[in-house]
Structure 1
C-alpha cells in the first residue's frame, strides 16, 4: 500500500509563500495580537542542527515560544515543533520554559485532540481574519469553535 500525497510539487512554494506572508504580518502586529510577548525573530536557526523556526517570542514570564505557521495545521507541524522544542531545551540546558505554537488558519479537530490528549506543550493559535487576507487565503474553511487546553505554564499570560 502506498501513501499518496495530494499536493503537487508546484504547490509547495506557493503554500510556503502564503505561510511566510501570514507569519510576517503576525510578527509585525505582535504587540497588538499578543501584548505580553516580544518578538525575538523570524526564521531563527537552532545552533546545533541549523533548523529554522518560523518565529520566536518571549513573554513577560520569560517563557520562550517557538512558532510554526501553517495554512492548515497538520502532523508535520507537530513533529517539527517537537524537534525544535527539544533542540532549544538542549541549547538552553533547561534554563527556560520552552513551548511550541502552531498558528494556523484551519486547525482540524484531530490535531486539537492529539495535542490536548498528549500533553505536548504546544499551543494552538487561530490566525485572525485580518491576517488571513494578507496571505491571500480566503478559500479555507475555519473551525471557530476550538476548545483548546493550553499548557499550564501559559495560563496566566
Structure 2
C-alpha cells in the first residue's frame, strides 16, 4: 500500500509539473507562483500556487482520481493559505482526470466554491497514467505474420 501511495505521488507530481510548464496555455490569465507550497506550521504542502490578473491566489491539489481525500486536502490548503495571506482573495482548485460524484455533489450542496478542473487527457502521458483500464482477459489474439514461402 505504501508503494502504491508513493507511485501515485510520483505520477501526480509529474502531471502537476507538466501542467505548470504549460499553465499559460491552459489558464492564460494566471501565472505560476510556485509548486510544492509548504505550510510548515502543519507540515503539509499544496501542489501548486498561482495568481491571476485580478490578484486572486489559487492553491492547487492534483489527483489522478479525486475523492474525499483530495477534497479534504484542498480545503486544508485553502484554510492555511487564507491564514498566511490575510486580506487576499484565495481560492482552491482540485485538478484530476476523474472526480467521484460524491465530492462534486458535496462541493455544490455545501457551496464550497472549489474549482474542479478536469485535466486534459494528454497529461496522462506525463504521469504514465493509462488512458483506460485494459482487461487482460479480453485482449484479442493476433497471430504473427506468416512469411511467404520462397519459390
- Which TM class, normalised by the smaller chain length? 0.7 to 0.9
- Structure 1 unaligned regions, length at least 5: 1-7, 142-157
Query: Stretches of 4+ moved more than 6 A in 1?
Result: none
- Give me the CA root mean square deviation: 1.4
User: What CA distance in whole angstroms lies between the structure 2 residues aligned with 1:51 and 1:12?
Assistant: 16
Change (3 A) 1:48 1:9: closer
State the aligned residue count: 133
Counterpart contact for 1:56–1:64, Cα < 8 Å: yes
The TM-score with structure 2 as length reference comes to 0.82
User: What CA distance in whole angstroms lies between the structure 1 residues aligned with 2:132 and 2:56?
Assistant: 31
Q: Which residue of 2 aligns with 1:30?
A: 23
- Structure 2 unaligned regions, length at least 5: 134-151
User: What CA distance in whole angstroms lies between the structure 2 residues aligned with 1:105 and 1:15?
Assistant: 13
Question: Which protein shows a greater Rg?
Answer: 2
Q: State the Cα deviation string for residues 110-148 of structure 1 (Å, max 9, x = none).
A: 22111111111210001101111211112457xxxxxxx
The TM-score with structure 1 as length reference comes to 0.79
User: What CA distance in whole angstroms lies between the structure 2 residues aligned with 1:106 and 1:15?
Assistant: 14
Alignment of 1:101 with 2:93, yes or no, is yes
Shift of 1:46: 2.2
Q: Any idea what SS the aligned residue of 2:115 has?
A: strand
Q: Which residue of 1 aligns with 2:122?
A: 130
Counterpart contact for 1:65–1:99, Cα < 8 Å: yes
